[in-house]
Structure 1
Amino acid sequence: EYIENLEGLNVYSLAAALVYSSANQFQNAPIQMRTALSMVTDASDVLSVLLAGNHSVIAGRLVGAFRNIGRDLIADNILKGMQAADLKVQEEDPFVEKVQVSFGRRDVSPYVNRMRLMWAQMRESIIAHFPEQPHQTIDIETYMAEVEDKYVTDAYHSLSIEGYRVTRELIELVRSGSWQAEGSDESKRHLDAMAAKGYWNAFQEVKKAVLAVLEGRNAGDVLEQTHSDWYLALFGPSVAAGIIKQSDLAGYRTGPVYIRQSMHTPPGREAVRDMMPTLFDLLAEEENAAVRVVLGHFIFVYIHPYFDGNGRMGRFIMNLMMASGGYPWTIVPVTRRDEYMKALEAASVKQDIVPFTKFLASLI
């Protein structure tokens, strides 16, 4: 009765899955369980399963769980329904702690709720393991000059992390304007050269965003308004050279994407369109710069909104958020790529943000 067929698989309905989840599940996988609870908008389906099986003990657990996430009306209605059937219920909270996240009953995307839960759960660990925000006044001209000075090194490492075979000489040629695509058909069609050109173009757009943040604008708002410009700049040269299709510049991906050697499967295309505005909101609302730095980068690559370029975009976001807290422009070295990827994997799969926080902290 409570089994549904989903794309050829027999699965429990959401209500039945919640009822039949053990008490340990709430402690071992709190983000997943809170996400599932947040998808329930009315007590009816859950109450139906509880009453059919006379599950008074489980009812007490679910009442406590719903109250833990702020769904008091659902909790109260379960209690009333069980009491009307003359079943005694002892309310208990199965979670170890309460997370201060508000779930609107009209939130339709479980991915959005999951992301908010991850943010709330991870932020204290980040604050505990990341250097405090610098207190000295920033000289904007000096800061921007230092960013420019780091360009060649930054481009070399960021492109190399993604597997491009670039040299510092090529990057410098592109930067200086001495490299001309029109002068070499071979270079014009070369993927690595186009990546270097795109990185230079995107870097110019990111610098504009950094300057806006240093001048006092909200970093989350700036990111929302400019990130598409970064992406267009990053891949524009490859489109012009005929290496990728024009449609690839359209924006967020229109299909699934998979990450090599990762257990994490990024959310589907519909979820991306729900999650990205929420990411911008969370960044705009977040008061702690360290949290913006770490989660700005991590959540972006967790969503993986584009078919390509997510790593480079994520590191640009990291540095925009670095600027918002007065931290210096920071380079992830290709020599530490494995450590970097393992830390991201731990955050994505195990929701353990500490390794990634410590990794970024070690680079400052």
Structure 2
Amino acid sequence: MTPQTTALLQAIDADKAKLDAARPLPAHTLASLREKLMLEWTYHSNAIEGNTLTLRETKVVLEGITVGGKSLRDHFEATNHRDAILYVESIVAKDEALSEWQIRNIHNLVLKGIDQTEAGRYHQENVVIAGASTTPPDFLHLPEEMRALIEWHDKSGGMHPVERAAELHTRFVKIHPFVDGNGRSGRLLLNFELMKAGYPPAIIQKEDRLAYYDSLDEACVSGDYSSITQLVANSVHRSRDTYLSVLGLRN
């Protein structure tokens, strides 16, 4: 990691300690913060992939209202992502270890009602990623690659949680095991790792899309995770600031 990233992680951990010391947090405040971050996470993660709903439209859709002039897929992507977050929260609450079964379940929720044939299933033919400098592994090797991902994760407990989450996300995206929905599923995995360690979700904003794709590409090609870790750390820091500000703990 770069000195800049190390310093940022130290600041994040100091803020985390401050927040942990204030627990238990007020129930209504915690619920409103969760709702805010869930909305923003859903909006930005979908917008990165081309969903056309605005932030306000996403909120309305999550409340069960149809937005005129928007595709059925746009609506499904919003409600599916919300359901996938709820699933991630449930496995974090149960302190479950990461597994291929969970990853398939997350992806199944992401594509529910959009492409039921491919939901939760590794792709059955070779694919390429538009704009990427690397090619995903042959589809015949996907089970082996995913097992290796879980094995790496099981042995990486000594890493800082933010660094580990960024690398888990990148390794998953490089494997690209599904026909569609890899980005959303990967960011859900990213935040599974962060939330499990007591950090807020990293919301990578649509305005950071280019920097995000560039840092992912750099890590996939070179194995240097510095840029993607820095970007994830910035996103965690932004979410942490939201918590501290609302709770009146920001100096």
After superposition, residues 234-273 of structure 1 pair within 5 angstroms as 234-238=110-114, 244=115, 246-249=116-119, 251-273=121-143
Cα distance change on mapping 1:235 and 1:205 into 2, 3 Å: same
TM-score normalised to the size of structure 1?
A: 0.55
Find the counterpart in structure 2 of residue 211 from structure 1. 93
Find the counterpart in structure 2 of residue 334 from structure 1. 206
Is 2:39 aligned against 1:152?
yes
C-alpha distance in 1, partners of 2:187/2:111? 16
TM-score normalised to the size of structure 2?
A: 0.78
Compare 341-350 and 164-173 and name the one that shifted more.
Answer: 164-173
For residue 313 of structure 1, report the CA deviation from its aligned partner. Answer: 0.8
Residues 140 and 211 in structure 1, CA contact (< 8 A), matched pair in contact too: no
After superposition, residues 65-214 of structure 1 pair within 5 angstroms as 125=1, 129-130=5-6, 131-132=9-10, 133=13, 134-135=16-17, 137=20, 139=23, 145=31, 146-179=33-66, 190-213=72-95
Is 2:103 aligned against 1:227?
yes
Q: What is the root-mean-square deviation of aligned Cα atoms in Å? A: 2.7
Structure 2 counterpart SS, 1:199: helix
For residue 128 of structure 1, report the CA deviation from its aligned partner. Answer: 8.4
Is 2:146 aligned against 1:276?
yes
Residues 127 and 290 in structure 1, CA contact (< 8 A), matched pair in contact too: no
Cα distance change on mapping 1:272 and 1:140 into 2, 3 Å: farther
Q: Which amino acid aligns with 2:59?
A: E
When the two structures are aligned, how many residues end up with a matched partner?
223
C-alpha distance in 2, partners of 1:195/1:209? 21
Find the counterpart in structure 2 of residue 292 from structure 1. 164
Unaligned residue ranges in structure 2 (runs of 5+): 237-251
User: Whose radius of gyration is greater, 1 or 2?
Assistant: 1
C-alpha distance in 2, partners of 1:126/1:228? 34
Residues 161 and 337 in structure 1, CA contact (< 8 A), matched pair in contact too: yes
Q: For 1:3-49, what per-residue CA distance to the aligned partner results, in whole angstroms no more than 9, with x for missing partners?
A: xxxxxxxxxxxxxxxxxxxxxxxxxxxxxxxxxxxxxxxxxxxxxxx
After superposition, residues 9-48 of structure 1 pair within 5 angstroms as none
Is 2:215 aligned against 1:343?
yes
C-alpha distance in 2, partners of 1:200/1:339? 25
Find the counterpart in structure 2 of residue 34 from structure 1. none
Residues 174 and 220 in structure 2, CA contact (< 8 A), matched pair in contact too: yes
Residues 129 and 135 in structure 2, CA contact (< 8 A), matched pair in contact too: yes
Find the counterpart in structure 1 of residue 248 from structure 2. none
C-alpha distance in 2, partners of 1:308/1:224? 17
C-alpha distance in 1, partners of 2:2/2:168? 12
Cα distance change on mapping 1:156 and 1:335 into 2, 3 Å: same
C-alpha distance in 2, partners of 1:305/1:312? 13
Unaligned residue ranges in structure 1 (runs of 5+): 1-124, 239-243
Find the counterpart in structure 2 of residue 309 from structure 1. 181
Compare 346-355 and 312-321 and name the one that shifted more.
Answer: 346-355
C-alpha distance in 2, partners of 1:140/1:299? 35
C-alpha distance in 2, partners of 1:326/1:301? 23
C-alpha distance in 2, partners of 1:200/1:302? 24
Q: Which amino acid aligns with 2:42?
A: A
